[in-house]
Structure formats: structure tokens, C-alpha cells
Structure 1
């Protein structure tokens, strides 16, 4: 029973990013104001990222994009557009492969550095934020993040937009979880997210909330 309990604890600590089990991760802002931040993972993609950017621009909403390196390398202009339109860019590894959390700390750091070098070449910025692929943390992720001088950034509202395909159901889920200080996780790689997003942004406004840049919400600089 002790072994089973310990195994479950390790699993929880690894796969629940808000657990803080292996390392500190910033997952939310303070709850004293009706302010939230929104973030998008896994882009950029030419099919959906421009549509997300257009919605954000129309609603005058800032966001943070945790981008994958090889996708940036294939779509450099999209990353530059994200920056030019006032959004924040964070490191989400270079390849984001399924076995990322099984890599050595040295290999993880090499991926982070590869992404860092690419973004610096394109924008002149040195990122300071890292979002672990799949939200998985472990001792090797901690070592790599510390070696890079990064802050790990998570979320406290996971939209599940990669699993909930029905737009109305997705909208209802994120509406239910609206709360002060929330950091929402979306993906700029999903059809349902693009089509749900305008209604969600309008709902947030109707409820008296303001969507602020993530650096303001958590009071941390995104770049060196």
C-alpha cells in the first residue's frame, strides 16, 4: 500500500503542473481583482494562429504564446507578427516530442537553448519563461529550467480544447471556470478554439473581468 501510495504521489506530482511537487511553477495571479490572462500553446500554425491573432486584435486582448521551435522555424513571419501585435512569446521546447519528460536534463536544456537562439535571432528577445510540454514536471525538467535561468509557467484553468471538440461544450467549460487571477490554457492549433474564442472574450467582458498581459497578472518579466 505504501508503494502504491508513493507511486500515485509521484504520478500526481509529475502530471499536475500546479502541484509544485518537483519545482516551483507559476500558475495563477492574485485573486484580489477581476483580472485574468490567456495563453496559447503549440503554435504557430498557418491554419489557425492568424485567425486567433485576428480575434485577439478585434477584441483588443493581449495573450501569451508558448511556441514550439520547429514550428517557428517553418513560420518565422507568424512569430514576428505575434510580437509585433503586442503579445508575449514563451519557450515550449524545440520539438515537444511525446517523450520530452524522459529526456536527460542536458538534452532538455539543449532544446530550450535551440528555441531561445531562434527567437532571439528573429526578435532580439531573450525569453525567460518556459512551459513544460504536456505540463509534466520532474527532476530533470527542474534542472534544465534552472540551468536556463527560466521561470516555469503553468495554468490553473485547462480548457481541454484538444479533447472537447464541441464548441458549445468547450465554451461552457471555460465560462464555468472563470475566476479572478486565472491563467487559461488554450491551443492556437484547434478549430474549435478559434470559433469559440470570440464568444468567450465577450463573456469575460460581460462578467466585469479584464484580460491583462500575463506578465502583469503574475508580476514577472517575460524577457531578460
Structure 2
């Protein structure tokens, strides 16, 4: 009887050990760090947007990433994401040229390969061309080497079109990032730029008209706004001139990302 009891106890102990080992071994050794999808508390009546409740403020600060400019100044920073061309970038560039407004265009590898003429025009007309990755992946799910490759391929493809301009600004695809992504990007020489003004403008089959785009942008206007618009939107192309005129009538000026101070201290995070 005693022998059986000892055997039973032994089996229980061994089973517990095996379960413990299993519990340890099933945990991924190289699990990706926590990923964030960029979000913010929107501006209302000119208030300053906030990321304090999103849980990643310290990561932006750590890596010198921007989502808003100097909130003490009535300055706006106009940026476009160019994943692919939908026929509206020429219109956008025409308006920017007419209104003498600088902008930043974040381009993918597909865009640079297919529309080198437009990238070249962006540069020639004084706009910034930024990196939006080669294939638009979730960069929190790929290795450091793959992140570097994604960025380098865009840089090399665009180099013949850039003149004296250096590609130095990055917008992570889909706004998905973590500490690792921003760290690798910064080591590659990039300043990551997010946004403090945006609306759901990228669904090409759900456009709602120029007036809608105008209202969505104007109601979020605030000092230091980094404005994100998608160039695939017909609404944006149609509303852009009126947005620029109305913002200027409110006392705003449009600035280049190069006017953001290269500092460890980001005004919007203080």
C-alpha cells in the first residue's frame, strides 16, 4: 500500500513538472513586443489633441517621433500618404503650386516604381518625399533586418528622383508601431511622423463629396496640426483649395516638416 502511495505521489510530481515544462515551452521565445495602432483624442473647437490615454506617449518621446508641432503657434503641416495612385495627385500638386503650400508625401515602393514622374515633380516643386515602406507591412511583425530592407529599398528606388533632398522622414504603414520599430527606424536615420488631424478618407468607394472632406478637416483644425490626408481620395483633391483658403483666413500658415525643430523635446508631448 505504501509503495503504491509513493508511486502515485511520484507520478503526480512528475506530471506537475512536465506540465510546468510545457507551460514554459509553449510561450514564444521571440514574441514580438506589444504593437500600438496610432490613435489620439481628436481636437474639438481648436483644442490640442492628446495621446496621453493611448499608452505610447513615452515611446514617441523616447525616439523623437512627432504627431503634432508647436501647439503655441498657428502652424499647419500638410502630409499625404501615397500607397498607390488613384488619379488625384496631379490635382493635389496643382492646388499646392497655385496656393504656394509645402507638403510631405509618404510613398511606398509600389508608388515610386509606378509613378516616378510624380515623385520627381513633388521634389522639384519643393515638397518633401518621405518613406512609407516598400510593401506596406505591419513592421511590428517583421525582423530588424526586414524593417531595414523595407526602408532601404524605397530610399534606393527614389534616390535618382530626389535631387539634393535626402529621405529622412518615415510614416509607419497603417500607423502600427512599437518601441522596436521606432528604434530601428531611427537608427536608419529617420524621424517618424504620425498625425494629429485625420479622418476616414481612404475608402475610395465610400467618398462623400468635397463638402464632407472640408468639414471633417476644418472641425479638427488646431495649432501645430500635422494633417494626414490620403491622395487616393477624390474628396480631398476637390476640397484642398478651400481648406487651404479657410485655414489661412483663420490665421494659420502652412509649414514644411523641415520647420519642425529636431529636438528630443516634442511640444505636443509636454
**Of 144, 151, 158, the match for 2:191:** 151
Equivalent residues in 2 for 1:1-224, closer than 5 Å: 13-16=36-39, 18=51, 19-23=56-60, 24=63, 25-43=65-83, 45=85, 47-97=87-137, 99-124=138-163, 125-163=165-203, 165-167=207-209, 168-216=211-259, 218-220=260-262
Q: Secondary structure at the match of 1:157?
A: coil
Kindly indicate whether the alpha-carbon contact (under 8 Å) linking 2:38 and 2:177 is maintained by their aligned counterparts in 1: yes
- What runs of 5+ residues in structure 1 fail to find an aligned partner? 1-9
- What runs of 5+ residues in structure 2 fail to find an aligned partner? 1-33, 41-50, 264-270
Note the aligned Cα RMSD (angstroms): 2.2
TM-score (norm 2): 0.71
Kindly indicate whether the alpha-carbon contact (under 8 Å) linking 1:14 and 1:21 is maintained by their aligned counterparts in 2: no
TM-score (norm 1): 0.84
State which structure, 1 or 2, has the greater radius of gyration over its C-alpha atoms. 2
Q: CA deviation at 1:100?
A: 4.0
User: Which is worse superposed, 26-35 or 138-147?
Assistant: 138-147
Q: Report the count of equivalent residues.
A: 209
Kindly indicate whether the alpha-carbon contact (under 8 Å) linking 2:175 and 2:194 is maintained by their aligned counterparts in 1: yes
CA distance in 2, matches of 1:115, 1:183: 23
